[in-house]
Amino acid sequence: MSKLIALVGDTGNGKSHSIQYLDPKETYIINVAGKELPFKGSAKLYNSENKNYKEVSDAVEVLKLLQTLSEKALHIKNVIIEDGNYIMGFNLVAKATEVGYTKFSVMAQQIVDLVQGAKKLRDDMTIVYFSHQEEVEDTGEITAYKMKTAGKMIDSQIKLEGLFTVVLYAIAETKGDKTEFNFLTNRYKKYPAKSPAGMFTDLKVPNNLKTVLEKVNEYYI
């Protein structure tokens, strides 16, 4: 059984930046939104010629690609689903003119199939699902944050965080003229991060995806 992690955070909080620490020879990036990766030399490290990069936005196609990597690309140990929330977002825009609620049920089913299918891959594979965060409000005040979906109709059918054992939140905290970028490993203020007891010794860890995945893999040995 493969390992699955959700990495959630607002844009600019260091999610994509953390990819640079991974070995591109054993890492594959599925770029849903098709935007440039925010670290120097990324286009030379990750591209179709190196066979470690592809732009895919359909949930069914993403799962098929994951299964192919699991079966035929045995050197790939880490797969990043970059901007995974756009899988639902792009689908919603494409079906904007469709009436009725069926489209929401289909979207919910597809994302559930993707997440559950990503857990059934090679034992030595780790899949990291990147998602933007979304505000949860009550009487006009932000009470919490959550993984971004395609709206309340999706949320009424699935709680996306519940499908992941590990949910990390990327945060950026500015003190004076310095900004620190970290990942939260467990619940902190309005951030519902979570991880199994003992997986991480610190509540905040540097936004280095290599060391994070090492901790996750060590825990499950």
Residue 143, exposed/middle/buried by CB under 10 A (0-12, 13-18, 19+)? exposed
Residue 125 and residue 75: Cα distance in Å, rounded? 10
Q: Which pLDDT value is given to residue 95?
A: 74
Structure confidence at residue 132 (pLDDT): 93
pLDDT (0 to 100) of residue 201: 94
pLDDT for the residue 42? 94
Residue 91 pLDDT: 77
What pTM did the predictor assign? Answer: 0.92
Residues 6+ apart with CB under 8 A from 7: 15, 18, 128, 129, 130, 131, 168, 170, 183, 209
Token representation of residue 69: 């990597």
Q: Residue 46 and residue 40: Cα distance in Å, rounded? A: 11
Residue 150 carries which DSSP code?
A: S
Give the residue carrying structure tokens 């670290």. 39
Smallest CA-to-CA distance from 19 within 10, 28, 6 is with 28
pLDDT mean values, one per 10 residues, the chain (221 residues): 95 92 97 91 95 95 96 97 87 74 81 92 96 89 89 79 94 89 95 96 96 94 79
The reported pLDDT for the residue numbered 38 is: 86
Supply the angle between the helices 102-118 and 59-72 in degrees, to the nearest 10: 10
Which domains, from first to last, does the chain contain? 3-219 (3.40.50)
Rounded CA gap, 5 and 80, in Å?
Answer: 10
User: 28: number of CA atoms within 13 Å, CB side?
Assistant: 25
Q: What's the CA gap between 47 and 101, in Å, rounded?
A: 38
What's the CA gap between 221 and 219, in Å, rounded?
6
